[in-house]
Chains A and B, each alone.
Chain A
Amino acid sequence: MSRLTSRQRKLVYFVAILLLLIPIFVLGRPASRDSQGGVLAQLRRPQGQELGLAEHNLGRVDPTSAAMNLVLLGMRGVAVNLLWMDYIKQQETKNWAQVRSTTESITMLQPHYLQIWRYHGWNLAYNVAAEWDDVRDRYYWIKEGAKFIKNGTEYNRHSPELNFEIGRILGQKIGIADEWRVYRRYFNPDGRQFENLSESEKGDPDPRYRGGVDPELNPDRLDNYLAARKFYEIANNLEGRGFQQHLMMRHIFRQYPYRCRLDNNGSLNREGYFGEFVLNEWSRAQQDWIDGYGQELFATGEGFSVNMELPSEVHYSRLARSQDVEVGQVRRMVRSFQNVVNYRYWRTRSLSESEPETAEAHQKLYEGEELFKQNELIKARTMLVEGLSRLDEVLGRYEDLITEDLTVEEALWGLLLIKKIDELLEKPVAEALPLSGLWNRHLKDKVPSLQFDFNRRFGGL
């Protein structure tokens, strides 16, 4: 080698490089439509089955993200830590512009780290939103949280958890927050319950959507719970295909799409919407709950699986025999699982709510309150007493409902209204009101807090 001139050495190196390219090509050639690729590509796909080990199998591959990671020369962890510290400081000092952009930077460096997407999405929707005073601004930031996580699903296509979180924001945050009435109007102005509202009172307040819906989150113009249901279904679908979730136990995780219908129907009632449509929705929800969720099999961890809906002893026996276990074991596990998700309660509830008498009870209580607000005190009292009577009959038939918070609070609220009316009309306090027993039972727990809210809204008793 030392006898070779400089030019000759360069030629030798060049030829060596060319020769080395051959094994590199053979080993590392990627697969494509026309070929199976090199040895490594074929190893990744034994017998033609994709093992999903490449980054593109996780989701979209972002060249900027990859470039940023390369430029950091292995210091990605340090950079991310610094960004997190900046993020916390920016949130503390309410620097919202930079909060958003720092979040983007963090996820750009770690696009496949699910916790980041989950945490930041939750933080935007729950904490950053709460810092703003105007309800339109709060709604904007809740949507930002959902959209942020939705963006994350593009990089992590097989994550049930991210889809679950989107569903939780659209369902729980929009549907249960104190501002739920306003948020639901903003989310879906097409709802039948909003028909009588003017255009300015409903629809997305963002000037880009002006009274319409945000197409990124609600392209099908659905109610928030039903839009959430779509994301929950995607999460369930992925979970069913074997992509694991680590948020909660499987039977709890999989109930959410079915719960959405139930929650939506409850909200319709609270918004004062009754009638045939709602009764049908409750029936449908009940059917979903029993025939959908109730039939799903869940592993117990004791070597056998159970489902929630086992209407008779025959079904218990059949299930036990098919898996070679004792009926007692099956019964115990089914009971345990049902208790965790309150399965029997929701079954009963959806059954009772599909009955016209129950709907009538809710409607009378709702209309009674509306009459009270319009100062029609005597009519309001009559309506409220009728509503409580109906509710009493329903609770007599479905005793399980007596433990449900919303139902109890609805009854107590009706009683509070009647007491207030009696005070205003200077009548003595009526003793024999329907559901007075419920009042006495909750005198020390629910009544004081409801009374406080009542006083704040309508003045003291």
Chain B
Amino acid sequence: MSIETQPFNFLDAISHWGQAVAAFLVLVIIAACGLSLLTHGKGGPVLVLRWVPRFFTDLFQLSPRRVFAIAQLTFREAVRRKALVVFGMFALLFMFGSWFMDNPNERMDLQVKNYISFVLTAITWLLLPVVLLISCWGLPEDIRNRSLHTVVTKPARKTEIVIGRMLGFGSLMTILVVVMGVTGYVWVDREVAHNLTVYSESFEVSGEETSVEYVEIDGGVTVRVTSGDAPTRVTTKSSRASLRQDNPELYKLTERARLAALRRHLIAKRPVLGTISFKGADGNPTELGVNTGDIWEYRTYIAGGTQWRAIWDFEEIDEEIIRQGSGLRLESSFEAFRTHKGDDIQQSLLLQFTLVRVNRNVFRDSSGSAVSMTAVRKTGESTYEALIDGVAVSVEPVSVRARDVEVSGNAYVLIDDPEVAVEVVETLEVPLPSFNIAEFGENITLIRSELDHYDQDSGERHQVDLFKDLVNDSGELRIEVACLDSGQYLGMAQRDLFVQLPSNSFAVGYAKAICGIWLMLSMIVLLGVTSSCFLKGPVASLLTLVLLLVGQGFKSFLSRIVTGDVEGGGPIESVIRIIRQINLTDELPETTFYAMVKSIDSFLNEGLFIVENIVPDFRTFQMDTYIANGFDVPWSQALAPSIGVALAYLGPCLVIAYYSLSLRELEHK
């Protein structure tokens, strides 16, 4: 499973937003004052400053009743303009969707992803043009038809008009999203159920572990049931209906297996992720593993049959997690890279987990300042001193959490102060039995609460408690992963190993993904209504579309241009390179002309910096990857950022819309 995610920090986001909005407002006010100085003389800036608080006055005096009335009228008008035709297209698409999709993957675990992606993509791309057009054309059409005059002279405040429009379009969009979302859910559920003709599940029946394998192909139905040590019973029927008729008990068993298979395919897993680091061939910590030459650098590799280890540090492991899963459930999905086929071609790579209890300490002096471990020496049983500026100072080890530590060079250091090396002591290691990898599939390892451990030092075997002995006092557990096959490599990324919490139902995860679509469309409504306050319909549509395209498809490219990671220089330098056919990587001659071009480009890049911060990042609303890969949409990494982005634009959009509408000449067509 390959989802690339960024952690989201609310405080940082709010701080960044505040700075951007404040800077933008200051710039606008200064520019407005400057212009008014030219047009109205000394009284100009005074007029501008008098206008500034009007928005807040309007906002605090608005009437919810009028807002609701405008919203209602907006809704009706959009319906009258046949916005609901999109339902017809949606229905057509889903009625014939199966024809187009034609089940290209015979394996259901692969095909489910296509179904879910198809539904979410269809909903998004069908609604986008509808929502964009109705929100961009609403106000300009009213202004053109002069029907806005009757509203404005009601009197209705500008804020009421803007908020009413947004609410009206928003409520219509919500209805569309909800209905399509529900229809999509039913379709996915039905398609998976209908095409699930091969499945194999294990569960307990009357206290015995029973495995049921069901295969339905053109020639009939074959059911294999293995219960405990008994030989496998094979039953063959011409169809599922005849199985139900002739053998109802067996049919019930297959139904139970089918429901279990459906739950397994349509699921929203809740992972507890850890932080990943590595140990190199010399056994020392290192940030990354080996690069095997894969173009896609999502995964890094560890060499098999060596001291290379991948390390996951999980936090907040408590007894509740262990109790809920009847043990600690780990799910892994590593990738294998072979340098040779192996002695036994039919065996996949062998790997092993080792549970490790670690204590992390940073040494602090009496004033609380952190001291690097490299300067510390032990002077007694539990006393330490460090040489600071030639003076021996007594220091004490203070426990530090895994989230505050990272690997830098070949040492563990504090994230806040990379000069300070941290002591990491492994006090207990319990290797688990090795197992063969199931690549691109589910590897579930259940670690029981009580583990059998052979102590190599004492030569004794004893029981180890998972929570009491292996999880440290801060609730952290380390898991080391090793590949045991020499000459082979095991690839991993952070999300490739996680602790499995009880999963949510697919409906919950799907609903969150639909929320993501709703938030994105809400942004479109916000931007569309705002732009329609100062632009005509077609131009407002174009502006909103451009913001969408740049925010969705070109945001990362824009960021790379702004940070200077793109070769070829700025816009003018790029044009010169194209015309003169100068390679991207070639240095330009050091002449006055090119120096001037570079300075102009750096000025233009500043403009791009502003653009980059204005254009909303529509990528935060994409949540289909999670649910398509069987994961629940996480709050902190997906939902929270998208809500944050939507809310961040709400205020500024209202302000811009208000002032634009207030300053606009409504008589002018």
Bound-state Cα–Cα, A141 to B296, Å: 21
Flag whether B200 is at the interface (Cβ < 8 A): yes
Chain B 161-200 near chain A by CB (<8 Å), digits 1 or 0 = 0000000000000000000000000000000000000101
Complex contact A133–B338 (CB within 8 A): yes
B345 and A97 within 8 A (CB)? no
Q: Does A431 contact B (CB under 8 A)?
A: no
A104–B102 Cα distance when bound, in Å, is 9
- Interfacial chain B residues near A94, Cβ < 8 Å: 2, 296, 335, 440
| Contact flag A207-B110 (CB < 8 Å), given A94-B2, A134-B348 | no
Inter-chain contact A97/B105, CB cutoff 8 Å: yes
Chain A residues whose C-beta falls within 8 Å of the C-beta of B111 in the assembled complex: 97
| Chain B, residue nearest A88 (CB) | B295
> Which residues of chain A come closer than 8 Å to B102, judged between CB atoms?
104
Q: Which of A68, A92, A101 has the most CB of B within 10 A?
A: A101
Interface size on B, residues (CB 8 A): 38
Residues on A with beta carbons closer than 8 Å to the beta carbon of B198: 207-208
Whether B390 is near chain A, meaning CB under 8 Å from some CB there, is no
What is the minimal beta-carbon distance from B339 to any residue of chain A, in angstroms?
11
Q: Which of A93, A98, A207 contacts B117 (CB 8 A)?
A: A98
Residue pairs across A and B with Cβ atoms less than 8 A apart, 19 shown, are A68-B100, A93-B296, A95-B113, A96-B105, A97-B110, A98-B114, A100-B104, A101-B101, A101-B105, A104-B102, A132-B439, A133-B439, A134-B438, A137-B440, A178-B345, A182-B346, A207-B215, A208-B198, A210-B215
State whether the Cβ of A456 lies closer than 8 Å to any Cβ in chain B. Answer: yes
Give per-residue flags for A96-139: 1 if the beta carbon is below 8 A from chain B beta carbons, else 0.
11101101100010000000000000000000000011110100
Task: Tell me the minimal C-beta distance from A227 to chain B in angstroms.
Answer: 20
Tell me whether B60 is interfacial, beta carbon within 8 Å. Answer: no
Tell me, rounded to whole Å, the shortest Cβ–Cβ distance linking B88 to chain A.
16
Q: Please determine whether A134 and B439 come into contact, CB atoms closer than 8 angstroms.
A: yes
Q: Which residues of B contact A210 (CB under 8 A)?
A: 215, 222
Contacts of A6 in B (CB 8 A): none
- Does B213 lie at the interface of the complex (its beta carbon under 8 Å from any beta carbon of A)? yes
**A133 and B345 contact, CB distance less than 8 A:** no
Q: Are A104 and B104 in contact (CB under 8 A)?
A: yes
* Interface membership of chain B positions 479-495, coded 1 if the CB is closer than 8 angstroms to chain A and 0 otherwise: 00000000000000000
Residues of B within 8 A of A97 (CB): 105, 110-114
The answer, yes or no, to whether A64 is at the interface (CB within 8 Å) is yes
Q: How far is the CA of A64 from the CA of B200 in the complex (A)?
A: 34
User: Which of B106, B222, B338, B438 has the largest number of chain A CB atoms within 10 A?
Assistant: B106
Which residues of B are in contact with A by a Cβ distance under 8 Å? 2, 99-102, 104-107, 110-114, 117, 198, 200, 213, 215, 217, 222, 295-296, 298, 335-336, 338, 340-341, 343, 345-346, 348-349, 437-440
Which residues 33-77 in A have Cβ within 8 Å of B in the complex? 64, 68
Most buried by B among A94, A97, A178: A97
Q: Is B440 a contact partner of A132 (Cβ separation < 8 A)?
A: yes
In the complex, what distance in Å separates the CA atom of A178 from the CA atom of B222? 33
Q: Note all chain B residues with C-beta closer than 8 A to A208.
A: 198, 215, 217
A457 at the interface (CB under 8 A from B): yes
Taking a contact as CB atoms under 8 Å apart, the answer to whether B298 and A135 are in contact is: no
A179 at the A/B interface (Cβ < 8 Å)? yes
Cα–Cα distance between A134 and B111 once the two chains are bound (Å): 20
Q: Measured between alpha carbons, how far is A117 from B162 in the docked complex, in Å?
A: 54
Residues from chain B with a CB closer than 8 A to the CB of A64 are 99-100
| Cβ distance A438 to chain B, nearest Cβ, rounded Å | 26
Given contacts A64-B99, A95-B2, whether A133 and B200 have CB atoms under 8 Å apart is: no
Whole-angstrom distance between the alpha carbons of A108 and B99 in the complex? 11
Docked CA distance A133–B342 (Å):
11
A132–B337 Cα distance when bound, in Å, is: 9
**How many cross-chain pairs have Cβ atoms below 8 Å apart between A and B?**
74
Q: Flag if A100 contacts B341 (CB, 8 Å).
A: no
Binding site for B on A (CB under 8 A): 64, 68, 92-98, 100-101, 103-104, 108, 132-135, 137, 140, 144, 178-179, 181-182, 207-208, 210, 456-457
Q: In the assembly, what is the distance between CA of A144 and CA of B110, in Å?
A: 13
Chain B, residue nearest A138 (CB): B345
Q: Which residue, of A133, A140, A182, has the highest number of chain B Cβ atoms within 10 A?
A: A133
Given contacts A93-B298, A94-B296, contact A135 B110 (CB under 8 A): no
Known: A132-B439, A133-B437, A134-B438. 19 other contacts (CB 8 A): A94-B2, A94-B335, A94-B440, A95-B113, A96-B105, A97-B113, A98-B113, A98-B117, A100-B104, A104-B102, A104-B104, A133-B338, A133-B439, A134-B439, A144-B106, A178-B341, A210-B215, A456-B340, A457-B343
Instruction: Give bound CA distance, A137 to B441, whole Å.
Output: 11
A179 adjacent to B343 (CB under 8 Å): no
Which residues of chain B come closer than 8 Å to A96, judged between CB atoms? 105, 110, 440
| A-side contacts of B438, CB under 8 Å | 134
Within 8 Å CB of B215, what residues of A? 207-208, 210
Q: How far is the CB of B495 from chain A (nearest CB, A)?
A: 13
Q: Which residues of A contact B296 (CB under 8 A)?
A: 92-94
A178-B345, A182-B346, A456-B340 known; A93+B2 contact, CB < 8 A: yes
Counting from the closest, the 5 A-B pairs by CB-CB distance are A133-B336, A97-B110, A97-B113, A133-B439, A104-B104
Query: CB-CB < 8 A to B113: which residues of A?
Result: 95, 97-98
CA distance A24 to B232 in the complex (A): 68
Q: What are the residues of chain B within 8 A of A140 when measuring CB–CB?
A: 107
Given the contacts A93-B296, A101-B104, A133 and B213 also touching, CB distance less than 8 Å: no
The chain A residue with its CB closest to the CB of B437 is A133
CB distance from B267 to the nearest CB of A (A): 15
> Bound complex: CA of A181 vs CA of B102, how far in Å?
33
- Decide if B439 touches A135 in the complex (CB within 8 Å): no
Give the distance in Å from the alpha carbon of A207 to the alpha carbon of B107 in the complex: 11
Chain A: which residue is nearest B438 at the CB level?
Answer: A134
Shortest beta-carbon distance from A113 to chain B in Å: 18
CB distance from B94 to the nearest CB of A (A): 15
- Nearest residue (CB) in B for A136 is B346
* Complex Cα gap A137–B438 (Å): 10
Cβ-neighbour of A103 out of B104, B213, B349 (below 8 A): B104
Kindly provide the distance from the CB of A276 to the nearest chain B CB, expressed in whole angstroms.
31
The residue in chain B whose Cβ has the minimal distance to the Cβ of A180 is: B345
Q: How far is the CA of A104 from the CA of B106 in the complex (A)?
A: 13
- Closest Cβ–Cβ distance, residue B131 to chain A (whole Å): 22
Tell me the complex Cα distance, A68–B426, Å.
62
Whether A133 pairs with B349 at a CB distance below 8 angstroms is yes
A96 to B438, CA, bound (A): 15
Min CB distance, B343 to chain A, in Å? 7
Assess the A101–B114 pair: CB atoms within 8 A.
Answer: yes
Is B2 in contact with A92, judged by CB distance below 8 angstroms?
no
- Please pick, from A101, A104, A135, the residue contacting B345 in the complex, using a CB distance under 8 A: A135
Q: How far is the CA of A97 from the CA of B2 in the complex (A)?
A: 13
Closest beta carbon of chain B to A82's beta carbon, Å: 12
Q: Complex Cα distance A130/B569, Å?
A: 40
A179 touches B114 (CB 8 A): no
Interface centre among A95, A144, A179 (most CB of B within 10 A): A95
Residues of A within 8 A of B106 (CB): 144
**With A and B bound together, what is the CA distance between A104 and B111 in angstroms?**
13
What A residues does B343 contact at CB under 8 A?
456-457
Shortest CB–CB separation between residue A199 and chain B, in angstroms? 11
In the complex, chain A residues whose CB is within 8 Å of the CB of B101: 101
Q: How far is the CA of A134 from the CA of B443 in the complex (A)?
A: 13
Complex CA distance for A457 and B346, rounded to whole angstroms: 15
Residue of A nearest to B295 (CB): A92
Q: B437 near A100 (CB under 8 angstroms)?
A: no
Residues of the A chain whose Cβ atoms lie less than 8 Å from the Cβ of B114 = 97-98, 101
A94 to B336, CA, bound (A): 12
Q: Which of chain A's residues have a CB closer than 8 A to the CB of B439?
A: 132-134, 137
Hey, which chain B residues are within 8 Å of A134, CB to CB?
A: 348, 438-439
Q: What is the CA–CA distance of A108 and B222 in the complex, to the nearest angstrom?
A: 34
Give min CB distance, A444 to chain B, whole Å: 23
Bound-state Cα–Cα, A189 to B346, Å:
17
| Alpha-carbon separation in the docked complex, A93 to B111 (Å) | 17
Question: A179's contact among B298, B341, B348, B437, by CB below 8 Å, is which?
Answer: B341
CA of A210 to CA of B114 in the docked complex: distance in angstroms?
26
